């Protein structure tokens, strides 16, 4: 493992700018935008995500295969003195519980994290963030997560990852996710849990204000509305 060099910035904190790989409709980008980060662009191979991504994040959506993306696509986007964040939540399907039962796995998909590692090496962002299903850590066909962590450490990043339970962070979904952060500034850790079991956020808490103003879909006793 390479030795670490701590990169410190003096004076006023500069803007934090984000490029989002595998951006989808932009949930991760939107979360960072809501905290004051500037979202520059999102890259994805699903063109149907373009409208939602650009509308919600006020950032450009780029339809492009990650294997064809290079530092020339990313580096010019960042301001000179900005804190550069590169986010990349590669598709989780290859590492899901379903995929473990499926013998016909798509090798192209589970290799996408290596493409993310390649771009980290080329771009040298200040901060890297990634999330995926916990099973990625036990993936048997390749040591995908370990290889990604090693690639970051070889580029002098401090790396921290752990499995989090989503309700502990105010998310109304009973699932777990592996979250990784890496920094060139020094040691980095995930924030502690923000919620306890007695104050977990429910789906009603999150979207109950939508009411039933939408169009009724189907004739089920349990009504579902299309907004």
Our answer to whether residue 92 is catalytic in this structure is yes
Task: Tell me how many degrees the CA angle 117-147-25 measures, rounded to the nearest 5.
Answer: 45
Kindly state the tokens that stand for 59: 């950032």
Which stretches of the chain are assigned E, i.e. beta strand? 16-21, 38-44, 60-63, 83-88, 127-132, 158-165, 176-183, 215-217, 224-226
The catalytic position among 23, 49, 92, 166 is: 92
H helices, E strands: number in the chain: 8, 9
Q: Determine the Cα–Cα distance for residues 147 and 115; give it in Å rounded to an integer.
A: 12
Active site residues: 92
């Amino acid at each position: 493992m390479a030795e670490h060099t701590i990169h410190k910035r003096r004076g006023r904190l500069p803007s934090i700018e984000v490029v989002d790989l595998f951006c989808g409709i932009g949930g991760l980008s939107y979360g960072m935008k809501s905290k004051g980060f500037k979202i520059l662009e999102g890259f994805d191979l699903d063109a149907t995500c373009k409208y939602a991504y650009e509308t919600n994040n006020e950032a450009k959506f780029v339809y492009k295969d990650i294997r064809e993306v290079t530092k020339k696509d990313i580096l010019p986007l960042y301001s000179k003195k900005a804190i550069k964040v590169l986010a990349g939540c590669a598709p989780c399907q290859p590492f899901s519980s379903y995929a473990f039962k499926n013998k016909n796995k798509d090798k192209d998909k589970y290799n996408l994290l290596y493409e993310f590692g390649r771009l980290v090496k080329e771009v040298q962002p200040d901060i890297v963030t990634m999330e995926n299903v916990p099973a990625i850590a036990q993936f048997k066909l390749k040591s995908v997560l370990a290889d990604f962590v090693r690639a970051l450490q070889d580029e002098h990043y401090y790396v921290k990852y752990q499995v989090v339970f989503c309700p502990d962070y105010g998310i109304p979904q009973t699932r777990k996710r592996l979250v990784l952060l890496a920094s060139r500034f020094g040691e980095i850790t995930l924030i502690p849990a923000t919620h306890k079991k007695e104050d977990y956020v429910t789906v009603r808490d999150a979207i109950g204000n939508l009411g039933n103003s939408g169009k009724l879909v189907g004739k089920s006793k349990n009504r579902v509305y299309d907004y």
